Structures are given as structure tokens and as C-alpha cells.
Structure 1
Amino acid sequence: MTLFKRVAAIVALTATVGASVPVAATAHSSWRGSVVSVEPIEHLTSGELTQYLQSTGMKTEPAKYGADAYRVVYRTITPEGRPTTASGLVALPRRTERSLSLVTFLHGTNATRASTASVSRSSPDRVRSLMFAGAGFAVTAPDLLGLGTGPGRHPYGDTASETSASADQLIAARRLSETLGRSVRNDVLVTGFSEGGRITLSLGRALQRGEVQGFGLRAMAPVAGPYDLLGVELPALVNGQVSPFVATLYLGYFITAWSRLIPLYDDPSEVFLPPYDRVVDSMFDGSHTVQEIAAALPGSPDKLVRASFLQQLVQPTGLLGKRLREADRICTDWTPRVPTRFYTGSADLDVPAANAHSCRSGLDPRGTRSTVTDTGPVDHNRTAELAYPQILGWFTTLTR
């Protein structure tokens, strides 16, 4: 399809956004996943895509195909179930086959709405998404609620809305691909890094349970995710096992985000220490870079969060404890029927590798369908850099 025809098809698609698109289980409304707008953001030959990937330091084989990528705004729901919109990247390879295997890539912790895959060309999430497209896969990469061009604040760590936003983008991607004369296969290869590692499991669970209408699960590759919040990650954030600088950022983001989901406090000073209690919430409004956030906050959790609340995070009670236990069920209340490969770094000071081992033992006690791959004595981001070329190779073998 020529560029002119692609643009014409996109205009036709966005002109019919009132039409309903079936989504997820019967309890889900038919408008979820309908397309609001589409904007072309990348049109690359295989040579241009290879050059782009290499310029970012990505260690992969040259791109086999060129790729076209789009910023798609689609309809989804808030954590409270109200209608909203979200944005995300959809990429399609330039190959002759009409039917395409589909990869969903889920990004890591991101507090800056302008640094997502659909907005920033330098985003590592766009790089990884286009890496898969260059190998012949259709790709969805949701920005998630409150990031990219979506309204409101990002509900960081909210399993339900992270799953629904990711699922609804699959519906939007199918509609876009069909408008462009392509189709995506039903069984989804799901992978994600850090926060996206958790969503890999929650989305995989929804796909396997048939909760995303028209889609199923083919394989999962979660990378360096905080899967076990109560048993591993929250204690590590508080006891110093996670780098104090990183722990401060994670806790500030997590507490302020969850304060809008459940009643954690009436006033920030009940949880945060002065003078940071006056600024911490505003720093996570999506408009600040990580450098700006770090400059505004202290270097360790004990200088940001009151000791009593740090203890509550380690031994939560009430509604907080209930919600955390529900979040951790991504590792305990289902058994994947597809191959699953966890990837870790033994020197990861953001997300300890024990998260993966704990989660694997809950999901697959006999170890018959899952493995944990140690990428070596490397940090959090380097774990992803080493894991993704391996994941690309594995996904390719699964779809031959």
C-alpha cells in the first residue's frame, strides 16, 4: 500500500470512530478499543530502520523489513471504569504477507508523558517496538493511562487499568491493521520491561482466560519486573536492597498514584516528610523529567516517607494490604499454558532478581513451562538491553 493510500485509509478509519468495536468479555462495553485518531510517526525502509536501531546502540541483526508506525488514540476505561482515551504505538512491517504475528511490548516505569514510544523518537520503548517490527511482527506498545497523549495522571502500578488499557489497544490495532489491508493473528506474544514485566503477566492472564475478545496468548517474556510486591519488592525498597535513589523515586510515584485509587491519606504530610510533602505529588503529574523529579526529592526513602508508613508498606493492613495482595495474584491465581521466559540481571539494584524466582514458583511450581534467564551481573536497564535481542530470537522461532 502506497503512503497516499495509507493516509487515505487512516482518514477513513478516524472518520468512523462512532462505530462500535467488540472488546474483551461480555462485561466490557462495545466502544472500548474503538479508534479516535491515528497519526503516522515513522515510515522506514529496512536500511533506515537498521540505521535507526544501530544509532541507539541496539545489538541486533539488520532489520529484515521496513516498518510503518502510528500513534493511535483509542477508547478505554479509567481505574473506576469510566470512559477515557489512551494513546500507544502500533507498528506494521513492510512485508508481503497480509497476516502478521503480533507482539505486545509493555514499557517500564515512566513518569514523563512525553517520553513514551508513541511520542518520543529517542524512547527505548520505540526502539524495542520497531526492532520487533523490523523482524516481521506487528507490534502494539501502549503508552498506558495518563502517559503519551492520554488525559489525566498515570495510575502507576494499578494492575486492572494497566491490563485494560493494554487489552483495548489490541482491539484498536486490529481495526487499524484491517483498514490498512493487513490482519493480526489471534495469539499474542507478550513482553514487557520493569513495570511492563508485571503487565506482561496480568495481560497474559486476561488473554488466556478469554477476557480479550478475539485474542489469545502464545508466549510471555517478562523482563526484570517487580512481580512479588509483598514478598520481595516493597521490602527491598524499604530495607536498602534497592538503590536508595531509585527507591525514593519508586516510592514517591507509587504512593502518590495509589493515593488517588484508595484513601492512603487526607494530606500528604501524613505520609511524606517536610519539605517534600509540599512538592512530591506535583512532581509526578507527568510533566517533569526524571532528572527534575530527582532534583526535587531527597536521596533516600527515609528522608521522603515517614517511618510509620514505610513500616506499613512492609506489613500492610486494611485496604492497602488487600489491594497489594490482589496485585500479587498475577503470580499465584493462574497457571500459564504457554511457554514463559523470565529475564533477570544479578546486579539489578532496582528490581531484585528474587522477584522472578518467586513468581515463577507461584505460576509454575514444577518448572515445566517456564524458565528464568540470568543475563549476567548487570543493572536494571542493561538487563533489558541484553534480554531483548534474545527475546526477538525466541519469538521468531515460535512463529516459524
Structure 2
Amino acid sequence: MYLCNFSNFLNSCFKYNLLIVLLFLQVVISSQYLVSCNFLNSASASVLGPPTGLVLDYDVDMYKMTYNTVDTKGLPIIATGAFFIPTNTTCKNFPFAVYNHGTTLRKDNVPSFNNTESIIGKIFAAGGYFVCMPDYIGMGDSPGLHPYVHSESEATASVDMVRAAREYLTNNTNYIDNSEVFLTGYSQGGHACMATHKYIQDNNLSAEFNILGSAPCSGPYDLSGIMADTIISPSPYSNPGYIVYLLASYQLAYGNIFNSWSEILYSPYDTIVPPFFNGNNTTLDMSLLNSLIPNDMRLLIRDTSMNNFINDSINKNHPWWLALLENDNYDWLPTSPIRMYYCTEDEQIAYTNALNANQAMNNNGALDVQALDMGNVNHGDCVLPALSAAFNWFQSLKTPCNLSSSIELNNSDIRIYPNPFNQKVAIDSREIMDIQIISLDGKIMYSSKSTNETIFKTSDWEKGLYIFKIQSKNDVHTSIMIKN
């Protein structure tokens, strides 16, 4: 009898503990991406527009966003970024644009700290976009060293920030995501833009991230080809710090690039370099690093390491080759349009990266990929023409706010938008309305009496068709809307 009672006790404990575990897992699975979103400042379209020559319609609010993502090992980590919302408008439904920033060594020289590059986010937002500018993991308030030009972590930092931003819009504002997504970025951000696009497609996330256009600018897409040639070449390179950053990054990500700096770098550079990559650097920048190390790779990288790398240039089994190959993103088949903007006098990132990617993608059967020459200027001077071209291209593709796939019901002042919808639906009317929304299996999803603008959440609805039945004073209006 005692044995039976003890057995029952164990069984009860097991069931109780199992319940606790299942509840814990449920919390983890349903955990949000958004951690916090805090207002930083505002900007006026009248100030942002004239220096760029772009037509900008909206003022902008800027926020610092903290969100959950994963590191290079797939483990949870926080990341930060800048988030921008168009203001001073009756329009509420906009597309998302993601801008990936260029190379920086300082953790505080990032968009969420309102650095110089953050103005690009303000400009795009003033054109009518919700803009995400991820700092990347290991930058901003994210702990540790940044995995520089590491495709997967660049991509996850981008897509998880959009997810966090959607949560913020849904739970804290009356704004509506119109389900269109645009990607761009400059320099390292060009690589991150391409990596994000490829990641979304490779992981079947296109329904969640409907990419209408992707515009990587002046990025290193062909790492195992063109960037490897930069390491091997006897010609001086203007930014040797990029190469050292790459080695530090891939050691973080893969753990087999070197055992110590002295193993791969000549003295005194093996002692000069480490403070730049300690994971807490907020004072030492790339221009300083470039001034302290030689721009001839043969004077920086030890002969043994360089020769081992060069001698394996056919088989490419050396850890350095494997890391470069893993982070190539030029040779694939995109199903969404791409425009790669470049300049032919770029001294930092060879414009042939764009030409190689353009040739490879079109050879693979891409239907809408182009590499476009923005002129005979250097890396810094290419920013304005490249990003202006990207902005204007996006403007030609997006659904304008006042036409955003809405349904205007005949002979009435009632408008339903967006269509298709995702997280929210808005119904505008000057009349008192009885609203009823019914799924195709007859379930009433929403029922209310309202006037003026009604916005309600639909994030937990199943994908499919829904019947919107709206009764005004003199008529009954019925329409069918699509939930993505």
C-alpha cells in the first residue's frame, strides 16, 4: 500500500513537472521580439528634402528599439537599432524599408545612437516608409564583438527587427503595415542587404516579408573571389582594417581562423590590433586602425598564414576559404527584383562585386536583376547617387499610402484597407456603421458599431478570405478581403 501511494506520488510529481515544463516552453515559443522602443527625436521633411533633392512628404519620429534575436551560434541575444515612423499625415498604412549601415568599429557609432548615417533612415521614412536600421549584433547595446560581414547574423538582425517593429506598431500605434518590404544598405550594408534578401528566400519567409525590391549598394558580395584577391594581391589596399576585422569576425563565428593574433600578424601589429576587437570598443575607429597597420597585406599577415591561404586557392578547404565561401551572397537565384548600385572609382570595395553578382544571377535565370553604374566617383561620393537611385526606384514600386490596396465601397464614403491585410485592418467612414466580419466557415471574427475610423487587430486570424459586412444608415455593403 505504501509502495502504491509512493508510486502515485511520483506519478503526480512527474505530471506536475511536465506541466510546468510545457508551460515554460509555451512562454518561450510565444515570446515577443520587441523589448523596448523609446522616442529619440523628430525631423521635418522641409529640412530633410532640400539637401538630397528628393521629394519627401512626411515628417519623421525616430525611436531606439531593443529587440530579441540570435547570435552566430543561434543563441538568444539582444540587439538594438533605430526605427523611424512617418508623421504629420492622415495616412496610416506604409511599407517597411530596411537600411543596413556601413562598416564601423565603435559600438556607439550606430543608428540607435543617432549617428550621422541615421539621417538616411529619416530620409527614407520621410518618403513614406516604416524604416528599420539595425545596429547589428555586437553593436549598439548588443554585447560582445560584432560578427562583421557574417551573412546569417546580418540577416537575422534585420528580419527580427522588422518583427519587433511590427509588434510595436500593432500594440502601440494606429499605424498599419501594408505588407510590402524593401531592402537596401551601403558598403557592409550592401552585403547585409543581399544576405537578408537571400535568407528570407532560402528560409521560405517570403509570405512574412513580401520583398518588392532589394537595392544593395557598393557591397562586397563576392568574398571568396574579389575580396580574397584583395588579401592575396601585392597591391596596397586603402582599408587594411577591413581585412583584420574580417579575420576577427570569422574567428568569433567559426573558431578556427587563428589561435592568437601573433600566429597570423607580424609584430607589432599583433599587439596593436586586439584593443579594436575586444567587444567593448567605443573609442577606436577604422581610420585610426588603418593608420596603424600597413596597407600591404604581405607586411601585415605572416608568410606562413598567407602562403597556406594562397596554396589552397584551388581546393579552398583552408578555414579562411571556407569562411569566405560561407558568406558569399552573389551566386544565387533571386525571385524578387534587385538593383545593385555601384561606382567605378570605389577604392574600398571593388565595383566588380556588383558585376560578378549581376552576371551570376542572370546566368542562374533571374528575371529582374541589374547592376547600375552611378558614375566615376569613389566610395564616399557614391553614397548620394546610389541611395537616391534606390529611393526613387522604391518609390516607383510601392503602393502609395492614399491608394494602398484599399476597397472603397460603391456609393458611400466607406473605405477598408489594406487589402491584403496582415496585423490590422482599418475601416474609414463618415457614417455610423454596424460592422460584422465573417470567415468563410461562418465564424464571426469581429462585430461592432462604430463611426469615423475603426482599426482592429487581426494578427491571430488564419490566412484566407473574409467577408466584410458593413451596414450604414441607408445601405448594406459587402466585400471580400484577403488575410496574408
Normalization by structure 1: what TM-score?
Answer: 0.84
Of 144-153 and 230-239, deviating more is 230-239
The one-letter code of the counterpart of 1:350 is: Q
Counterpart CA distance in 1 for 2:380 and 2:81 is 22
The one-letter code of the counterpart of 1:327 is: N
Counterpart CA distance in 2 for 1:104 and 1:20 is 31
Tell me the residue number matched to 2:107. Answer: 113
C-alpha distance after superposition, 1:253-304 (max 9, x if no partner): 1111212222122221110110110121221343212233234333432222
SS of equivalent to 2:252:
coil
C-alpha displacement at 1:158, in angstroms? 1.3
Alignment partner of 1:309 out of 297, 305, 308: 305
Counterpart CA distance in 1 for 2:150 and 2:208 is 24
Counterpart CA distance in 1 for 2:319 and 2:291 is 32
The reply on whether 1:211 has 2:200 as its aligned counterpart is no
Alignment partner of 2:126 out of 113, 121, 134: 134
Change (3 A) 1:214 1:297: same
Change (3 A) 1:256 1:208: closer
The one-letter code of the counterpart of 2:183 is: V
C-alpha distance after superposition, 1:206-227 (max 9, x if no partner): 3234337722221111111110
Note if contact 1:197-1:226 (Cα within 8 Å) is conserved in structure 2: yes
C-alpha displacement at 1:236, in angstroms? 2.5
1:24-173 → structure 2 map (5 Å cutoff): 30-31=30-31, 34-50=33-49, 54=51, 59-61=52-54, 63-94=56-87, 95-121=89-115, 123-124=116-117, 126-173=118-165
Note if contact 1:208-1:216 (Cα within 8 Å) is conserved in structure 2: no
The reply on whether 1:261 has 2:257 as its aligned counterpart is no
The one-letter code of the counterpart of 2:222 is: D
The one-letter code of the counterpart of 1:85 is: I
Q: Which has the higher helix share?
A: 1
Change (3 A) 1:155 1:364: same
Note if contact 1:234-1:313 (Cα within 8 Å) is conserved in structure 2: no
The one-letter code of the counterpart of 2:215 is: A
Counterpart CA distance in 1 for 2:39 and 2:106 is 22
The reply on whether 1:277 has 2:270 as its aligned counterpart is yes
Counterpart CA distance in 1 for 2:162 and 2:201 is 14
The one-letter code of the counterpart of 1:357 is: L
SS of equivalent to 1:244:
coil
Counterpart CA distance in 2 for 1:75 and 1:390 is 32
Counterpart CA distance in 1 for 2:41 and 2:267 is 45
Tell me the residue number matched to 2:218. Answer: 224
Tell me the residue number matched to 2:351. Answer: 353
Aligned residues: 364
Tell me the residue number matched to 1:378. Answer: 377
C-alpha distance after superposition, 1:329-381 (max 9, x if no partner): x222x421222111111111111111111112222225641111111111112
Of 366-375 and 66-75, deviating more is 366-375
SS of equivalent to 1:355:
helix
C-alpha displacement at 1:119, in angstroms? 0.6
Normalization by structure 2: what TM-score?
Answer: 0.70
Tell me the residue number matched to 1:391. Answer: 390
Tell me the residue number matched to 1:12. Answer: none
C-alpha displacement at 1:29, in angstroms? 5.2
Note if contact 1:341-1:371 (Cα within 8 Å) is conserved in structure 2: yes
SS of equivalent to 2:82:
strand
Counterpart CA distance in 2 for 1:145 and 1:216 is 24
C-alpha distance after superposition, 1:89-134 (max 9, x if no partner): 110111322211111101111111111111134x22x111111111
The one-letter code of the counterpart of 1:110 is: T
Counterpart CA distance in 1 for 2:260 and 2:107 is 25
Note if contact 1:208-1:217 (Cα within 8 Å) is conserved in structure 2: no
Which is bigger in relative contact order (C-alpha 8 A, separation at least 6)? 1
Counterpart CA distance in 1 for 2:397 and 2:349 is 28
Q: Which has the higher strand share?
A: 2
The one-letter code of the counterpart of 2:299 is: K
Note if contact 2:335-2:366 (Cα within 8 Å) is conserved in structure 1: no
Change (3 A) 1:351 1:65: same
Change (3 A) 1:203 1:302: same
Change (3 A) 1:259 1:86: same
Note if contact 1:269-1:277 (Cα within 8 Å) is conserved in structure 2: yes
Tell me the residue number matched to 1:182. Answer: 175
C-alpha displacement at 1:311, in angstroms? 4.2
Q: Alignment identity in percent? A: 24
Note if contact 1:85-1:150 (Cα within 8 Å) is conserved in structure 2: yes
Note if contact 1:107-1:192 (Cα within 8 Å) is conserved in structure 2: yes
Runs of 4+ in structure 1 over 4 Å off: 19-22, 311-314
Counterpart CA distance in 1 for 2:206 and 2:355 is 28
Counterpart CA distance in 1 for 2:140 and 2:25 is 24
Counterpart CA distance in 1 for 2:358 and 2:25 is 38
Change (3 A) 1:310 1:224: farther
Change (3 A) 1:307 1:60: farther
Tell me the residue number matched to 1:331. Answer: 330
C-alpha distance after superposition, 1:19-77 (max 9, x if no partner): 9999xxxxx9543x6222222112123234447xx3xxxx2325311001111010111
The reply on whether 1:197 has 2:190 as its aligned counterpart is yes
Note if contact 2:180-2:398 (Cα within 8 Å) is conserved in structure 1: no
